[in-house]
Structure 1
């Protein structure tokens, strides 16, 4: 029987069942996220006529809503029923997706405001539920299996996003912009997302929840919030989180706007880029999970974070090429790199926050991490949206010229509009990586060693499909056949001697 209340004792069998449900539930919640967030949410907003400022507000909503973790801490600590909070907020919040689906058939300021209001409700209730959800999982999942469990869960999330992303790209490609059929596509996506989200809440309700440890008295919010900041090492982690989230969210929420409005590609191509990123994410995820469990989350992040920042800055190149095919190939390559890199960053940033939180009382630590993320990641896209018109009217041109006996080679670099964001994000990202180096985590190794480990994992995977390895195996084949032949010959001789000895014993 499903109950929304915690259990005094969770058996090993119940824990394993809960972890299996945790992984399977990702297919449902991943379906909701794939159809109602990210590129699709931005594309829907542009379809409704949203401005750059509105896009920035929509992008910041999931983060600023995390400030509701403050009252969520009190709610969790006082009610002490984390599952009930997570399930109820999920049911009510995801019902708002049906409201957002209806706005597809209307135009003007009112539907846009209703769309934004519904998104704020979804994000707000989601933040409260996440506070309870993270603290619950911290007590349910064994620490030495966090990497593998969340890697499997994230793999499900990525796989379902891949499938639904392809379907969404096809649907948007087949429907002309501004048509009734495009309205139906967006409405259908959010309606399906609503249904899968409600089913997801039912699966979550079947997972066991261990009882929270007893407290010494009434909850004091100030003491709870200051505890993570008094922890010197965790405070350093928060410094990295703040600078990192501000850096990447100054630019990444506007990728869709950049590609559609500045580069003049179709929304369906943006969906294809998203799918490519998801494929790279899925392929890289298992390796990151194995490496984070074997060594440390920080070591993995020290490789993934610089790669992701490089890809953001390299987006500037897309506006420098005149050949559309070259631009498309450039964007595809960068999204592959970003997908693989963000897989490691997302996995390890979640794990390291949980790992550095005290077991049994992780609510305040998880909430502090979420609030820092909320402020930094929430302010960045709003600032980006407000400054969009400022940068749109500015241009910076650099000319690199090489002169020699054979002639002169000129390479102009022109920064306009969103290019400024990518460059600024790169500079801020370098500072964030510096902040990461100050965090201490047990088991961490040097970046060079982690790169070597990653290359070893990659070589093992490639060796199974490489033509060179296949040729090597072919050259090894005769030797193995000879060895097998010798063994079979020796076995036949041994059997013959044994049979001959038995015959002699039978005669005597």
Structure 2
């Protein structure tokens, strides 16, 4: 790590190990988790089965967060819980290397079962890891540190995606597709074990164990009822529901309907990851300076239209540009949403809020994917509108349209109610777009000088009506 994020040497070493952990985790995610659905399609999984694979493991796995909080309270330490969860993830990749090839008729069921425990491991570690990082990362550097870490992780995931896709292509051409899958899954498992090593090297400050407050007690709901955290969780879960209607099925659309090769598929997915790598540092700086609300507003306006744009063309170059736009929007949304939740939730209540937040979001994803899977097999492949007959290339087009309408409805209902939590500098939507889109480094200086002059200029009256300062 080139820059320092803490003056405490022990904390600084831990943050360095956290970056290395994230890089190793990204290798696992890029070469393993990213290909779960494609692996299932190799064994002829149906559209509803793909929806179930994308939604049921995260839902059941999210319940492990409750176990995580219970274990943290009883062990009085965070790191052992984190290590158990991370190790479980790596271990559950090993059966995928062996069992599907031995029992091909039950392969989809085996993949689904392993995925449940895989996500359980991730969720077992998540609350304690979030609590640990919340204590280790200085608040004023949080946006830039996580942007830096996520940027490296995104680049690693990009390379892992491409490497796995090329590996699959080489073995596929040789008629050994299954062997290719076994290779990339084994690499993913080994990468997770490297991640465990770096997690074990991190410092766990005593006295800050993440324990879960009983979420169904009257006292808890009295405190959180109507709070900004609950409103944001409802918005986030509703958006996840709308997104999940379509998101599991883009893989089906590319591999089954468009007949992408593994290289074409991996490049398409990797473009989105690459754009996240290129823009996350900028999103992090925007988050630190201007707050998270403005980023959520901007990305929340783009995300609803993304599924609809898949209907415009099947041209490969066009779809790459679309994936780049998707990566830009999701980079800003994911980073800002995570930071916004950190800002909303007191540190002593963080694990309870995060657990409820994640379980609620996982339930929303499950329901959205179930709806998408149902629609994918029941919506007609043609449509008559105003005496015009439309023949759809894929029955999934209807799923994409429904997802767009649902996303737009959620954005219209919730986005206006978001309020910035911290004291931050104000900016307009145009200013935000300028900062995200600028290409020349001198743009920072020009924009800051102009912005400073405007901020220092005396006001000649009240701000315009409706302007949120």
TM-score by length of 1: 0.79
Counterpart for residue 166 of structure 1: 162
Match of 2:419 among 399, 420, 440: 440
Match of 1:370 among 358, 361, 379: 358
Quickly say closer, same or farther: Cα 1:213–1:21, change in 2 above 3 A.
closer
Quickly say closer, same or farther: Cα 1:110–1:399, change in 2 above 3 A.
same
Counterpart for residue 265 of structure 2: 270
Q: CA RMSD in A?
A: 2.8
Quickly say closer, same or farther: Cα 1:218–1:141, change in 2 above 3 A.
closer
Quickly say closer, same or farther: Cα 1:418–1:115, change in 2 above 3 A.
same
Q: Would the aligned equivalents of 1:104 and 1:187 in 2 still touch at CA under 8 Å?
A: no
Q: Does 1:91 align with 2:105?
A: no
Counterpart for residue 503 of structure 1: none
Q: Would the aligned equivalents of 1:173 and 1:268 in 2 still touch at CA under 8 Å?
A: yes
Match of 1:357 among 345, 349, 352: 345
Counterpart for residue 200 of structure 1: 195
Please, which moves more after superposition, 64-73 or 140-149? 64-73
Match of 1:222 among 212, 216, 222: 216
Quickly say closer, same or farther: Cα 1:292–1:346, change in 2 above 3 A.
same
Per-residue CA deviations over 1:288-332 (Å, capped at 9, x if unaligned) read 01100101112112112222222222112136xxxxxxx212211
Q: Does 1:339 align with 2:327?
A: yes
Q: Would the aligned equivalents of 2:213 and 2:352 in 1 still touch at CA under 8 Å?
A: no
SS for the counterpart of 1:49 is coil
Q: Would the aligned equivalents of 2:167 and 2:180 in 1 still touch at CA under 8 Å?
A: yes
Q: Would the aligned equivalents of 2:375 and 2:398 in 1 still touch at CA under 8 Å?
A: no
Structure 1 residue ranges without an equivalent (≥5)? 1-9, 320-326, 402-410, 465-508
Q: Does 1:141 align with 2:137?
A: yes
Structure 2 residue ranges without an equivalent (≥5)? 1-5, 444-469
Quickly say closer, same or farther: Cα 1:452–1:196, change in 2 above 3 A.
same
Post-superposition offset of 1:232: 1.5
- Partner Cα separation in structure 1 for residue 220 and residue 113 of structure 2: 28
Post-superposition offset of 1:112: 2.5
- Partner Cα separation in structure 1 for residue 386 and residue 15 of structure 2: 56
- Partner Cα separation in structure 2 for residue 330 and residue 444 of structure 1: 40
> Which has the larger Rg?
1
Counterpart for residue 461 of structure 1: 440
Match of 1:451 among 407, 430, 447: 430
Post-superposition offset of 1:354: 1.3
Counterparts of residues 321-340 of structure 1 (less than 5 Å) = 327-340=315-328
Alignment coverage as a number of residue pairs: 435
Counterpart for residue 450 of structure 2: none
Counterparts of residues 175-186 of structure 1 (less than 5 Å) = 175-176=171-172, 181-186=176-181
Post-superposition offset of 1:250: 1.0
- Partner Cα separation in structure 1 for residue 433 and residue 116 of structure 2: 40
Match of 1:431 among 381, 406, 409: 409
Q: Would the aligned equivalents of 2:14 and 2:203 in 1 still touch at CA under 8 Å?
A: yes
- Partner Cα separation in structure 2 for residue 447 and residue 251 of structure 1: 35
Q: Would the aligned equivalents of 2:383 and 2:390 in 1 still touch at CA under 8 Å?
A: no
Per-residue CA deviations over 1:32-55 (Å, capped at 9, x if unaligned) read 1111113x1111111122121221
